[in-house]
Structure 1
């Protein structure tokens, strides 16, 4: 059975791709608002991983893709941190020596210094900060319930309408997690419906065929539905029309190129034109509508990160 998830969690909010040691360390320190004592890697000069972040007033939801075995030491959080492993193996060790499994979920109490270990190929979700305290004796299954809310959010993240929709859903996630911790009761969220197989074919075509230009008739023929049925089916099950999803996928591809850009002057107009956006002003407005920032701000985020003192310190340490 196919579910709504397609294993591309928060791809619309990619911040670092193929990140090196120094900027990886700086990004996590910045996101958790804490200095990191050390990051141990078997291959310090190689790619460490990729990182996506969605930020709202309540905090951040961050997805880490780990490209090699990693140990983060000396992390100190001022409020509760939730760490959920959705792929691979990882664990957290608190300063007192307690070990927490990140599957289904680890709850790191406020004021705790901890070490995070993750093997190559792991994918982790960090939710921080959560304002409620971790119960000393949580109800059996509470971690499963908290992880369930996070998974439901990630499944929906592929079909956010725009940045406003993404922000509202993220704020709602924080509210649900805090209510769950306050009550201490196990409240499993409802599962999202299985995605219709015709929609699976549509989504795979739009995502996988970069050169394909939108044609609703061709899309309907490809999935074996009428144009009218396809339109309403996709709108009902994902909240998006076929064209809106097609447009968002093109914007996400531009964002990935901007994140990867290491040139002095990013060729925003070139990247936009490659994805079929001929009017730069209209493209910039759409980009901001979907991601909450201008294309230039996406590039600047990584550049500002690279200018932080911790990055230079990490570089010297590697040398």
Structure 2
């Protein structure tokens, strides 16, 4: 549940992490305090759709976001670890199953080491001052269901369509006060779970439907229809998507001056660079080079910020 297909930062240091958070939340005044400013802060994934943004943050050290005041409401859903949210004036919000931060209210968000948070914004609808447990659980269930399904998006268009549906469901739940049926994450057939784990956890494995069917304990035909029915993807399409996600992770992690996109693609079995680039854009909504450029832009902004700070210090 980490929205791997939309990984933006991995092993990010405090400077680029701060710039990414500011861009993500649309507030350049936000500050970020960490215990070890020269060490890695965490990773960030974000899916941007027309209706809003869903992101997943995972910290590797204690982090505090301060001076936060957003023009729209924000949902914070803890997945693991510890966090707390305090509004201006000292009122502490409940964070489980989620924290609902009203628009135009200053807040402080603290997350401990090894904490994973889902952030959803903007949140439209009738925002209660103190949401009851039923409403909070209904909203959190919608978000968790979306994150579960995110592992099986068919492509970027499908991801955006499902994100639009999520924001619509959240608004309806808010306006209904949480009344109605709660959307639960589906449970996959255990035979299918074995298949998915094999594809994800064995990057050197070359796709073989017969071997995959034998591993799952069903026929090739039944495996094909089982996976298509429960995830919307064929076994090969899921295999292909996992390979693309592994390339994306390497592009995000790349610190070399010239990323060897063709090498990374070839390592995952994509021999035709043009076809690989088209598949990559189909799945993630951008070209491989744009993935690299996004993080490079953050690094350039951080370098410029450090140079400006050094110049000010020298002239002080």
TM-score, length of structure 1 as denominator length = 0.93
* Correspondence for 2:170: 177
Shift of 1:138: 3.1
Measure, in 2, the Cα distance between the counterparts of 1:39 and 1:48: 10
- The runs of 5 or more residues in structure 2 that have no matched partner are none
Give 1:57's match in structure 2, choosing from 38, 42, 50.
50
Give 1:223's match in structure 2, choosing from 207, 216, 219.
216
| SS of match in other structure, 2:137 | helix
Does 2:157 align with 1:164?
Answer: yes
Deviation digits for residues 53-108 of structure 1 (CA, Å, limit 9, x no counterpart): 00011111010001111111111100101110011111111112111132211111
* Superposition pairs of residues 112-127 of structure 1, within 5 angstroms: 112-127=105-120
Give 1:199's match in structure 2, choosing from 189, 192, 217.
192
Q: Per chain length, whose mean CA-contact separation is higher, i.e. which structure has more relative contact order (CA < 8 Å, sep 6+)?
A: 1
| SS of match in other structure, 2:242 | helix
Measure, in 2, the Cα distance between the counterparts of 1:314 and 1:114: 30
Distance 1:302 1:251, change over 3 A: same
* Correspondence for 1:308: 301
Measure, in 2, the Cα distance between the counterparts of 1:133 and 1:182: 5
Measure, in 1, the Cα distance between the counterparts of 2:4 and 2:86: 29
Give 2:280's match in structure 1, choosing from 275, 287, 298.
287
| SS of match in other structure, 2:237 | helix
TM-score, length of structure 2 as denominator length = 0.94
* Correspondence for 2:127: 134
Deviation digits for residues 7-29 of structure 1 (CA, Å, limit 9, x no counterpart): x4210000000000001111011
Range 300-309 or range 204-213, more displaced: 300-309
Measure, in 1, the Cα distance between the counterparts of 2:275 and 2:255: 25
Measure, in 2, the Cα distance between the counterparts of 1:220 and 1:133: 49
- The runs of 5 or more residues in structure 1 that have no matched partner are 1-7
* Correspondence for 1:23: 16
RMSD: 1.8
Measure, in 1, the Cα distance between the counterparts of 2:130 and 2:277: 50
* Superposition pairs of residues 143-162 of structure 1, within 5 angstroms: 143-162=136-155
Measure, in 2, the Cα distance between the counterparts of 1:256 and 1:289: 17
